[in-house]
Structure 1
């Protein structure tokens, strides 16, 4: 196999490991082999805690010692290596000084190694990623060709590890996000671009099963009355169309918001359900909710409980009382004009409050704000 073929195979295995965690050990062995090394380690810390540790060619006790050194007392000569750069130990520290280090005496010498290379892949306050490889005692030092080979692999290894971290975090956030939405005391339905439900929380399911106003099917959200069904479909279609045009639901579409609110009649004496349709795009749900979401439906019962802990909301995001009230109204599906009327303030004042809320929550649009609140775990539950 040629050097180019070996590189391609190694890089392919590295990216496969990002998708299938069980493949990290063989992928690291491929990386070590491409450098002519018998031992290698990949140590990842996120927010000061171990996130991924992979070793090849090392006994468990030696691997534990090496992990401890990298995570708790990283040597100064390794700290001095620029991120994304692989260096030979012999160019960074003299052999005499190296033989006095803890890494040498607790890992390298007991494991029968001597020459090594180290690459700090990422060096950030909240993320540290280090790769190292070593050769058995008696073998020659890593050559310039070996370092050049590593320089072609290191960027891909860095990208794969970061992709793995994002995927793992997204899976946890997705689980948490849906669990939070599932506990909401009002109906929430996420729709894709073809107006099909992606996710329906339990409260919306209860309302749909009641056959009283809302109609829920596997591939359709509708209303029990035909006249109201058309209005709901039109509102959803409008929201998705606005999203496709890249328009902001909270501002650019203000004049059209009234037609994106529907009332679904229920049997007396129950008051009609209020359905608000909010357009979203993939950037509005970056943390955990399906990026296929293109519209979100809030199904509210005017005679139902509020269940929103405005104090917790204010404390969490450092909002004023009025800002917290406005945020909770928006989280329940009201548009800015409706929320302003509910609070007894002018639309201009509400816009000013919204601007402050967006700044404090580090969001940029009403849909993104609603996404954050739905995922935050704030008590907007019964």
Structure 2
């Protein structure tokens, strides 16, 4: 498998884990493979809540030691890495100083590791999320290609975490289930026992309109490729079947189940859509959802550009309307001259706006600003 293929697979697994948390270990393992790392850890910590560490390549004690170091005495060189940026440890601290550090002596050395890459994903007063991957002692340092692989994956990993957080936090009963589902920035389709779609949100309808990957009609959901359509139908049927045990419960329990996940291929170079189907029993129905619902399909578009809302940027960082509009364009990957042209302003004026934006966001370079905005401007609902 080529490096590009391992990166694409890691991205698919990351988005699948956003919909099915039990898949996070597989996603972390895929990221480690893309970066040719023997060890990896995703660490999340929230105030007044126990920390969470999903690790690959560590035994239980070594993982606990590293988790403890991160939670109790995070090294200053890690704290200095901008959110959303992947950095080789050797670029932030010399090998000599690293060998003397607490995190190496107390956690990395006992685990048999040395060189690493670290990427802070979330840094908020109430929540910290850090991804790191490492190599065994005696292995060569990570190359530029290894760092580049993680740099490509990090924005998707951050987005997936935001998706998971929004899905966990959505109070469907209080706000009205259909209203929340309608505005989710991932595709949602609900099915009855006959596999007929009874609801599709705006995102699912938009994906279907392209005719590339997901197909949606009033009576069925399918895929543009016949093999994908069969996999999709099998996934939906498997989810619905879990609600139809009845007298044949024992037979259903031992019958091999089709996977309730699949990928829908799209025209190159687009990445496949990531699909997860979950059973919905009558006892689990949320207020406002049709009583005939028996399965819910979630679909994520891995290569979709993150939408940055200028109004949110203005409110968050006290930017003017024009500064926020320029910042949003920069976050979409535009160069300053291109963003200035699209905004209808001179490049000199754009440089002046950028200077003010950097000052208000406490950043020093355009790349650092974009990293901050991608993290702070993610929106899973519209």
What TM-score range do you get, normalising by the shorter chain? 0.3 to 0.5
Q: State the TM-score, normalizing by the size of structure 1.
A: 0.45
Larger radius of gyration: 1
Instruction: Please report the TM-score for the alignment, with normalisation by the length of structure 2.
Output: 0.45
Q: Which has the higher contact order (CA 8 A, sep 6+)?
A: 2
